[in-house]
Amino acid sequence: MATNIFVDETNEDVLEVIKQTMSVSLSDDGTPIVSFATNRGKGSGAQQLPVADFEEYVSTLSEIVSNGIQEVPEQDLSPAEMVRDTIRNVDGLIQFRVRSGKGAKPAKVPASQFGEVVALLRSTVSLVESAGDSLLEAHGDDSEDDGDEG
């Protein structure tokens, strides 16, 4: 086991981390997904959700910016509903998840930047949806070629 000598406790700006990590790709089952991180380091991970759910997810975050955090009963939730269910302000750090289960890591955003983060995500909705559509079209062309044997 090794110990890192140069442990950097510097918090990267959440807006920069999102800009550096946001991507759209196809999941193993061919669903367009958007992925981005809000922070780096141990205990953090990318938020991944279907492109089809992204606009509602961002709208939910926008509502929370306007109306505050409210608690909702847990069940089998969409990414937007999961945000509503899991969002918390813990010592000035807004934390929430888009899914539950093993490996689901929370997004962590300083409360002072929450509105800016949501505005950045809002500005990417059409780009994310277009990228998802392009991937689906390209994937559809590939699957049509693969299915013509016989």
Residue 145 lies in a domain: no
Question: By residue range, what is the domain housing residue 29?
Answer: 14-130
Residue 142 lies in a domain: no
Residues 96-125: tens digit of each pLDDT: 988 877 778 889 999 999 999 999 999 999
The span from the CA of 136 to the CA of 32, in Å, is: 7
Residue 30 lies in a domain: yes
Number of domains the chain is built from:
1
Positive or negative: CA dihedral 127, 135, 33, 15: negative
The span from the CA of 39 to the CA of 30, in Å, is: 27
Residue 140 lies in a domain: no
Residue 150's pLDDT band (boundaries 50, 70, 90)?
A: very low
Residue 7 lies in a domain: no
Residue 137 lies in a domain: no
pTM above 0.85, yes or no: no
Residues 37-90: tens digit of each pLDDT: 998 887 778 889 999 999 999 999 999 999 888 765 556 788 898 888 889 999
Residue 4 lies in a domain: no
The span from the CA of 103 to the CA of 43, in Å, is: 10
